[in-house]
Structure 1
Amino acid sequence: MKLLDRILRAGEGKKLKALQGLVPHINLLEPNVHALGDDALRAKTAEFRGRLEQGEDLDDLLVEAFAVMREASIRVTGQRHFDSQLMGGAALHFGWVAEMKTGEGKTLASTLPAYLNGLGGKGVHLVTVNDYLARRDAETMGRIHRWLGLDVGLIIPGFKERPAEKRANYACDITHGTNNEFGFDYLRDNMAATLSDKVQRGHSFAIVDEVDSILIDEARTPLIISGRLADAAKLYYRFASVVRALTRDVHYEVEEDKRVVVPLEAGIEKVEETLGIDNLYDEVQQNLVHQLSVALKAKELYKRDKDYIIANGEVKIVDEFTGRVLEGRRWSEGIHQAVEAKEGVKIKEENQTLATITLQNYFRMYDKLAGMTGTAQTEAAELMNTYGLSVVPIPTNKPMIRVDQADLIYKGEDGKFGAVVDDIAEKYESGQPVLVGTISVEKSERLSRMLVKRGIEHEVLNAKQHTREAVVVAQAGRLHAVTVATNMAGRGVDIQLGGNPEGLARHDVLKEGHAPEVLVDDFELPEVRTEEFDAARTTALARYNQLLAEHEQRCSTDGDAVRTLGGLYVLGTERHDSRRIDNQLRGRSGRQGDPGESRFYLSLDDELMRLFATGALSWVMGRALPDDEAIEAKMVTKAIERAQTTVEQRNGEIRKNVLKYDEVMNEQRKVIYQRRDQILHGADLKAAAMEYLAEAVDALLETHCASVADDEWDLDGLAKEIKTFWPSDIGLDALDRCGSTDKMYDLIMADSSNYYEKREAELGDVVMRDVERQVMLRIIDQRWREHLDEMDYLQEGINLRAVGQKDPLTEWQREGFEMFGAMMKGIAQDFVKYVMHVQVVRNEAPAPVVQNVQQSSSDDAPTSGFSAAASAAAAAGDIAPELAAAAPAAPAKQQTIVKDEWSKTPRNAPCPCQSGKKFKQCHGATL
């Protein structure tokens, strides 16, 4: 058995040993590859691709491709992959999670499997948590891949957003981007009106950086594309005012750990009195119950400068895991509007869900998925159960020598922050750099004010200063540096002792007045450039290289001094509710064998302790200890661990619950999106049209002739409803003569088929197929949006089913299935009505014309929104030039028939009503 086969078949405990066995084979090739000239090294890419075409697979090329990539990296960036990075890269190629500690070079390790899999031409997606990292990696790591002849693309908001440009980036061998942008592009592709609007080309292989953050932490929040609905601002402002007058534990109760606020009877009575209504729960006033609920949640559960900030008159969400502002993101179900009303800022309109998917189900679409992070072991079970991902810990390149000090616990928060400032001051005086981690913007600003009073120079890195992030992080390891940061998880930027020379050089170049656009990487340069631009770029790069050399010397000297002082000191001011986040903060120190130190300062007022650590801490809290005296007790440490475990278990259950509920939507989504894709690719819908006709006839007979007794059949209603589906000649007498539902079915089907074939003959096969595709696409989109809304409403109240001893998930699955079936039935019926009534107009003029057809009776025909949508689509060029399709218009008023005027009309002559039918088949039948 080959070595690679053994690796793939190895159990969890043997994977690492197998990866270690690959390294000597790669190292053995290093002298030979090093001896190749640049052109010969680049030619290896074409050679590898040729071997793939001849039948070899990627595994066969791994050893050689990794050796070539390592040598290319040395020549382009000066960085050589460590053996540990070779192991990490191989783990990623095999579709595993490589757990590599902070500073071990995860990004450089990812270049190896990206190159190998990029050779296959199916596309590799390198997924990061933010735009800055995606752009940085596309520039720095992408430079190596481009040198070897691979195409590298970038997918981030604001960068080449036109469909043709995005499609070109997705067509690259390797595409860098953010998890949200990849997911949103998938949703937008499945809302596209034409193939030319789609940008993605499939989901072959994804390498996810900070995999625990993206696939675990963010998995609770689905990606949603929404559209605006009616404004209900006044109601939100009214309830924000109402709940201000309500008192906690008197009018309502709060369970913060469960994120629940429950109004009490006294509270409901006070709200009813304030609003001047008799009963808040009257059916007609049901929306008021929802308004009260979200207003109370906004008041008690959503905290300013922790969950959100106010910037430029807007409420902006702060990511609880990264401390970043989530631009463009809004809480759903009215929460965001309620928070806006609470803060007195302008309320944006409510939104309707147009498309949605969870990150869990998006990433499970990839044929092969891999990830890397510094902290994955605590989530190994969930990664395996949800994504089928094995976690493989990769040994560090050098031994870890960081010293993790014991936690210091204080009785109150004031005493804790006083001790924190004293500790910072001591380190600051000695010159040792300090990185302080806080869990909220509010806490970081409080600490900053205390440091200012002590005269300690420092930098603050939080959601309000994210644009300065690179500069702040670059300086965090310098002598005397003090950096206060909200939650460093996911920052993705290594803190180098002595400072980051590249970041400092760039900062100085920009400070001197050079334009930032001239410093971009080659692949981001504009296609058309002026001589002035090129001259400015040459000058700026020359100055950058000069400053870089100076900073490299200074940072090297300062780095040695910092190592002597003990390295970077990481100080946590509060435990996060996830052990991983604490470990990520600690992991900022001690990179690549550097010395380092970490310590957490806690207080019994901390949110985690207050909410979850109750029993064991009651005794400690009761002790008469001064606020400035540290508490050291094993029971406190254990209480912290229990609290974190409780939160992690709760969050894990929430994610499992989200996935279980989304599984229902995911299966439905697959059906709808697959159908849309078939239509965009020109599917022939004639067979579907005939099937839908048969279903429509069955439904008509089931509605009007369900009884066994024929005297209970509603033949008059049947005859009328048939005409809402197509202009039928079948009358009451013809139906009555059938005598059985089978014969009626044959009669109605024959009539519908004849009319369908007549239309097809009039329009021609090509136009008829195009009409069917245009109509079906728009009906699917309209019905799917309505279905998403209905499913949202269903989910809002589904948990109440538990009161009736019913399993909410089972009820969700059952009712969701029924609602989806009803939607599909509605799509079929709408399709028949539109296709049978649509008016097609051919014009000599270049602009297509959309015209509504008149119906004699179409009370039940769908008319809402379709004609306007078709008109807009035609004007935009989405409808073929020879075709314009529209829905049935509102029914035309019947002309008053005067018997004396029309009675002498010959029965075989055209009807005077200008219907195009013979008189005997039209109004003559009623005279």
Structure 2
Amino acid sequence: VNDYLAGRDAAWMGPVYEFLGLTAGYVKEGMGNAERQRAYEKDVTYLTAKESGFDFLRGFLALSSEELVQRPFRYAIIDEADSVLIDEARIPLVIAGNSDASGADAGLMAGIVKSLRLHEDYEADEEDRNVYLTQSGACKVEAVLQCDNLYEEKNLQFLVGLNNALHAEVLLKRDIDYIVRREKIELVDELTGRIADKRKWPYGLQEAIEAKEGIVSRTKGKILASITMQHFILQYPSICGMTGTAISSANEFLEKYGMNVVVVPTNRPCIREDHPDEVFESKGAKEAALTAEIVRVHKTGRPILIGTCSIEESEHLAGKLSEAKIACNILNAKNDELEARIIAEAGAVGAVTVSTNMAGRGTDIKLGGAGEQEHERVAGLGGLYVIGTNHNASLRIDRQLRGRAGRQGDPGSTRFFVSLEDELFKRYTISDRLRSIICSEAYDGAIDNPMLRKEISHAQRVVEGQNTAIRSTLNKYNEIIEQQRRIIFNRRLEVLLDRKPLKLMAERLCKRYKLLQPSVGEEMLQKAEKQVTLYFINSCWADYIDYISYIRESIHLTHLAGKNPVHEFNRLAVDAFDRLLEDIEDNIIHILSHAEITAAGIDMKKEGLEAPASTWTYLVDDGMEQLGLCALCRDPFSAAFQLPLFMVLLLSNRYLRKREKIKD
């Protein structure tokens, strides 16, 4: 889950492995190559999935086999498997290098958007999490930018920049989707409530948020290589995992990874009591009842844990409790460095803890506090009382919150307080249907209606099903790029490890090859071709990723022209990849035709072929709602159908182009 746990568990389990004749090590951020190589050489290596993924991407930039730190993949055991394999499946891991920033001025676009008015200049779609200009808004923007038609191809950078600025201004909320800390934008993981470490929004959206908040943008950089978490994990021939909340995602585990879910019985019987939802018509009524319930239970000394859906809500509730003279600890993305201390005391007598989502917070809450001195007293009071202030879009997250009570056979109870005005119901336009069940009667207090509770539970399952379908469709949409990545990565590894002799210079530059062979030698000619081949595979692939990223920024806009975005993306990706393969060969030939080749190979610096001076790694928050990709998800059949066509289209394109060259 994190570097701390990797080091801790390797130290804890090391003696056991040694007793069995095995070795154990760990990898964490900041380690050098030599340390990493030694850790990967161990029989058992502890590390986070993302750290292993970043090492894999660094291997794509290696210029010699000695720079590779990983051994061939064999077996992966994944803790918190639902979080890594399901929730983070589509998140791309990225390695980037220095480059000049390009694209529309994010500051200019942010200023334009702030002058626009809802309904008059733009419309926002809460259900699809999308926002778009009206005719009036387009005219205003065109006047400011002094362009005739915003939707012409020559103005595409303006359109993409404006689209990002609109999303940043209207859909992404401070203290809900992100926080501003130390003059940086830090994303909040909607499932865990924590800061999403090293994660950024893609395709110019990060710069749009920075412009919105008046923060100087860091160097954007150029993506050199990337891979989604799912595709990286699938490189391991054998995978298994563990988590307490996998059963509801059993079908997804089977579909994505071919993994079956097995439920292991608890060590001790679970005696936790899960109460029915307290349902209210308005947020105000819910808030009043929630505060009253906390005051009532707090008087008994029983510890209470309240799970909220955002930083904003957690701070608002803490303020209400302060007005009621109740001291509480707040655990959210703004102070997650205090997590261990806050969690350690959350089970103490009289403790009240307000937290954002508890997913991924692996520490158990011990009754009676960290030392469990008053365990029996707290158990006698009923154990930990867990309250949820909203239902989540994922049933698993609700179960993870409930699961904080009644651990290891301890007593405990849970209850959710929900209103028909909650964000989950509003976003998916469920509120009106729920209101119709109560026949428009006015309710000041809780609504005691079993049918309403049943409908809320059903609505939550429908929302979770929709999100699962979206993940599945977007995964198929990404498959074509993954297949292309495999081709390029495997080709580069063959060159790096000298698995096949390089013949391009001998075949395409016969005269120069024969001229240099006596003086330079076969080995040095191979070395020179290897140097240039490795460089241009990296360079051309980075250009290709840049182009595909640019296409993805705007592909959803093609439906305005009556085109299918999935088909258009498929066509463009195949054409671009075909050109990529040709460009690699053409660039290699161009350099080898004139570069000075000596006994030391080619002076890459002299030829202007230096690798980036510095690189860094991060993760991309690839949420479809931030990219306007809803149109891509409306045709699952098209997304599923496109992958088998990739190789056919690629081969036919190459054949037709070669025929054109022959005719010329």
Equivalent-residue separation in structure 1 for 2:501 and 2:425 (angstroms): 62
The change in CA–CA distance for 1:376 and 1:256 in structure 2 (over 3 A counts) is same
Question: Corresponding residue for 1:135?
Answer: 7
Taking the TM superposition and a 5 Å limit, the aligned residue runs for 1:80-229 are 128=1, 130-146=2-18, 148-158=20-30, 161-229=31-99
The change in CA–CA distance for 1:482 and 1:329 in structure 2 (over 3 A counts) is same
Q: Is the Cα contact below 8 Å between 2:393 and 2:463 reproduced in 1?
A: yes
Equivalent-residue separation in structure 2 for 1:397 and 1:582 (angstroms): 22
Q: Is the Cα contact below 8 Å between 2:203 and 2:550 reproduced in 1?
A: no
Question: Corresponding residue for 1:564?
Answer: 380
The change in CA–CA distance for 1:783 and 1:397 in structure 2 (over 3 A counts) is same
> What is the RMSD computed on CA atoms of the aligned residues?
2.5
Cα offset, 1:836, TM superposition: 3.0
Whether 1:645 and 2:461 are equivalent positions in the alignment is yes
Question: Corresponding residue for 2:346?
Answer: 476
- The unaligned stretches of length 5 or more in structure 2 are 615-664
Q: Is the Cα contact below 8 Å between 1:459 and 1:482 reproduced in 2?
A: yes
Letter in 1 for 2:234: R
Question: Corresponding residue for 1:493?
Answer: 363
Question: Corresponding residue for 1:340?
Answer: 210
1:781 to 527, 530, 538: 538
Q: Is the Cα contact below 8 Å between 1:407 and 1:602 reproduced in 2?
A: yes
Question: Corresponding residue for 2:436?
Answer: 619
- The unaligned stretches of length 5 or more in structure 1 are 1-127, 502-554, 694-751, 853-865, 874-927
Equivalent-residue separation in structure 1 for 2:28 and 2:419 (angstroms): 41
Q: Is the Cα contact below 8 Å between 1:131 and 1:156 reproduced in 2?
A: yes
Deviations 1:472-504 (A, max 9, x none): 111111211111111001111111222333xxx
Whether 1:682 and 2:498 are equivalent positions in the alignment is yes
The change in CA–CA distance for 1:780 and 1:416 in structure 2 (over 3 A counts) is same
Q: Is the Cα contact below 8 Å between 1:155 and 1:176 reproduced in 2?
A: yes
The change in CA–CA distance for 1:142 and 1:480 in structure 2 (over 3 A counts) is farther
Asked which structure has the greater RCO (Cα within 8 Å, sep 6+), the reply is 2
Letter in 1 for 2:167: K
Deviations 1:36-81 (A, max 9, x none): xxxxxxxxxxxxxxxxxxxxxxxxxxxxxxxxxxxxxxxxxxxxxx
Q: Is the Cα contact below 8 Å between 2:109 and 2:161 reproduced in 1?
A: yes
Equivalent-residue separation in structure 2 for 1:428 and 1:772 (angstroms): 74
Whether 1:269 and 2:139 are equivalent positions in the alignment is yes
Q: Is the Cα contact below 8 Å between 1:616 and 1:639 reproduced in 2?
A: no
The change in CA–CA distance for 1:764 and 1:690 in structure 2 (over 3 A counts) is closer
Question: Corresponding residue for 1:437?
Answer: 307
Letter in 1 for 2:544: H
Q: Secondary structure at the match of 1:494?
A: coil
Cα offset, 1:761, TM superposition: 1.8
Equivalent-residue separation in structure 2 for 1:760 and 1:662 (angstroms): 45
Cα offset, 1:470, TM superposition: 1.1
Letter in 1 for 2:378: V
Letter in 1 for 2:422: D
Q: Secondary structure at the match of 1:602?
A: strand
Taking the TM superposition and a 5 Å limit, the aligned residue runs for 1:179-578 are 179-231=49-101, 235-501=105-371, 555=372, 557-578=373-394
Equivalent-residue separation in structure 2 for 1:232 and 1:262 (angstroms): 23
Q: Is the Cα contact below 8 Å between 2:98 and 2:221 reproduced in 1?
A: yes
Cα offset, 1:348, TM superposition: 2.3
The change in CA–CA distance for 1:491 and 1:132 in structure 2 (over 3 A counts) is farther
The change in CA–CA distance for 1:851 and 1:423 in structure 2 (over 3 A counts) is closer
Cα offset, 1:204, TM superposition: 0.8
Moved more, 392-401 or 484-493: 392-401
Deviations 1:299-329 (A, max 9, x none): 1111111110010111110111111112322
Equivalent-residue separation in structure 2 for 1:573 and 1:831 (angstroms): 61
State percent identity of aligned pairs: 38
Letter in 1 for 2:390: E
Letter in 2 for 1:812: F
Letter in 2 for 1:361: H
Question: Corresponding residue for 2:594?
Answer: 837
Question: Corresponding residue for 1:770?
Answer: 527
Taking the TM superposition and a 5 Å limit, the aligned residue runs for 1:489-888 are 489-501=359-371, 555=372, 557-612=373-428, 613-619=430-436, 623=440, 625=442, 627=444, 629-691=445-507, 693=508, 752-800=509-557, 807-841=564-598, 867-869=608-610
Equivalent-residue separation in structure 1 for 2:74 and 2:534 (angstroms): 27
Equivalent-residue separation in structure 1 for 2:133 and 2:613 (angstroms): 47
Equivalent-residue separation in structure 2 for 1:671 and 1:661 (angstroms): 18
Aligned residues: 613
Equivalent-residue separation in structure 2 for 1:290 and 1:422 (angstroms): 48
Q: Secondary structure at the match of 2:262?
A: strand
Equivalent-residue separation in structure 2 for 1:872 and 1:231 (angstroms): 16
Equivalent-residue separation in structure 1 for 2:103 and 2:590 (angstroms): 39
Deviations 1:773-810 (A, max 9, x none): 11111111111111111222333344455566665444
Cα offset, 1:872, TM superposition: 8.1
Equivalent-residue separation in structure 2 for 1:143 and 1:326 (angstroms): 33
Q: Is the Cα contact below 8 Å between 1:441 and 1:462 reproduced in 2?
A: yes
Deviations 1:386-432 (A, max 9, x none): 10000111111222111100101122223222222222222222121
The change in CA–CA distance for 1:770 and 1:376 in structure 2 (over 3 A counts) is same
Q: Is the Cα contact below 8 Å between 1:685 and 1:769 reproduced in 2?
A: yes
Q: Is the Cα contact below 8 Å between 1:570 and 1:589 reproduced in 2?
A: yes
Cα offset, 1:225, TM superposition: 2.1
Equivalent-residue separation in structure 1 for 2:388 and 2:291 (angstroms): 12
How does the TM-score come out when normalised to structure 2? 0.87
Equivalent-residue separation in structure 2 for 1:796 and 1:241 (angstroms): 20
Cα offset, 1:651, TM superposition: 1.9
Equivalent-residue separation in structure 2 for 1:212 and 1:245 (angstroms): 43
Letter in 1 for 2:399: N
Equivalent-residue separation in structure 1 for 2:161 and 2:436 (angstroms): 41
Cα offset, 1:451, TM superposition: 1.6
Question: Corresponding residue for 1:71?
Answer: none
Letter in 1 for 2:446: A
Question: Corresponding residue for 2:655?
Answer: none
The change in CA–CA distance for 1:435 and 1:136 in structure 2 (over 3 A counts) is farther
The change in CA–CA distance for 1:810 and 1:251 in structure 2 (over 3 A counts) is closer
Cα offset, 1:597, TM superposition: 0.1
Letter in 2 for 1:619: S
Equivalent-residue separation in structure 2 for 1:806 and 1:587 (angstroms): 47
Larger Rg: 1 or 2? 1
Q: Is the Cα contact below 8 Å between 1:222 and 1:357 reproduced in 2?
A: yes
Question: Corresponding residue for 1:746?
Answer: none
Letter in 1 for 2:349: L
Equivalent-residue separation in structure 2 for 1:786 and 1:821 (angstroms): 13
Q: Is the Cα contact below 8 Å between 1:616 and 1:636 reproduced in 2?
A: no
The change in CA–CA distance for 1:686 and 1:655 in structure 2 (over 3 A counts) is same
Cα offset, 1:207, TM superposition: 1.0
Q: Secondary structure at the match of 2:368?
A: coil
Q: Is the Cα contact below 8 Å between 1:187 and 1:356 reproduced in 2?
A: yes
Equivalent-residue separation in structure 2 for 1:820 and 1:839 (angstroms): 30
Equivalent-residue separation in structure 2 for 1:246 and 1:409 (angstroms): 37
The change in CA–CA distance for 1:458 and 1:138 in structure 2 (over 3 A counts) is farther
